[in-house]
Structure 1
């Protein structure tokens, strides 16, 4: 999904709208991924914990609800303007930094190199943390508002 966002954005007819379109597709992609992760933490905690190299914990329900909630809001933001996307970008970026820190710390101190703790998902999380705010600033700078008339009312 992450790679497809770049391919779909590359098909954009107007290069001036590239940052805005990439922002939208990345938010949609991240939203689906977070909603999916939330679903697994809530419904299949043993599978989710095992894939990260952790033990099942009561806190998984809470992180599952947080993941699912921001995932749904990020999905909705795909069809909304930049005024809606801004807070979603802020939350996802800050949350991603925290998640990445936790996973790196686990790898260093606990030797947890499980694929979903210290692998491709960590890289994508870090990319989201950095790229989403950059794209948001570029989209604001270009004055692009692809959703409807671009105004959130």
Structure 2
């Protein structure tokens, strides 16, 4: 299997492990709010931050290989997609270590717009052309939906008003 198959899966496995480890080492009181905060941090770090940088590297430095993994032809637009991934990845890393709710909301909105659009594009490709390449219909499709959805849910649960806490 290719990296485009394994990286999204391993990213979420790492989120679960890091969250569990951090929760177990946290000082009391520990509760659902802490779990939500930790999940938010590690999703910003890994599926948004590091995967964003990984995707940027792929689209900018290895465009032919990256396009082939998606089942597409190489295109100059990959540089633009790579630049967008770079910005999202850097913002995710900042959001992981700068726990401002407002900043993380901005990261979630941009991530939802970009990955939501990517997911829709992948689904249209599957319907129109039957493209089931790993980079189009594999785990990356699921994380394109799961990542923004989880970010928005976790942000609702950690809203500073305390209503959802």
TM-score normalised by the chain length of structure 2: 0.82
Residue in 2 aligned with 1:129? 148
Q: Please list, as runs of the form range in 1=range in 2, the aligned pairs for 1:90-101 lying within 5 A after superposition.
A: 90-101=109-120
Q: Identify the structure with the greater helix proportion.
A: 2
Residue in 2 aligned with 1:26? 43
- Give the Cα–Cα distance (whole angstroms) in 1 for the partners of residues 105 and 157 of structure 2: 12
Deviation at 1:8, TM superposition (A): 1.3
- Give the Cα–Cα distance (whole angstroms) in 2 for the partners of residues 84 and 27 of structure 1: 11
What is the aligned length? 143
| CA root-mean-square deviation | 1.3
Q: 2:20 aligns with which of 3, 7, 10?
A: 10
Residue in 1 aligned with 2:6? none
Q: Which runs of 4+ in 1 moved over 3 A?
A: none
Give the secondary structure class of the aligned counterpart of 1:37.
Answer: helix
Deviation at 1:142, TM superposition (A): 7.1
Residue in 2 aligned with 1:149? none
Q: 1:71 aligns with which of 62, 67, 89?
A: 89
Q: Please list, as runs of the form range in 1=range in 2, the aligned pairs for 1:53-64 lying within 5 A after superposition.
A: 53-64=71-82
The gaps in structure 1 that reach 5 residues or longer are: 144-153
- Give the Cα–Cα distance (whole angstroms) in 2 for the partners of residues 60 and 94 of structure 1: 17
- Give the Cα–Cα distance (whole angstroms) in 2 for the partners of residues 142 and 124 of structure 1: 29
- Give the Cα–Cα distance (whole angstroms) in 2 for the partners of residues 141 and 122 of structure 1: 31
The gaps in structure 2 that reach 5 residues or longer are: 1-10
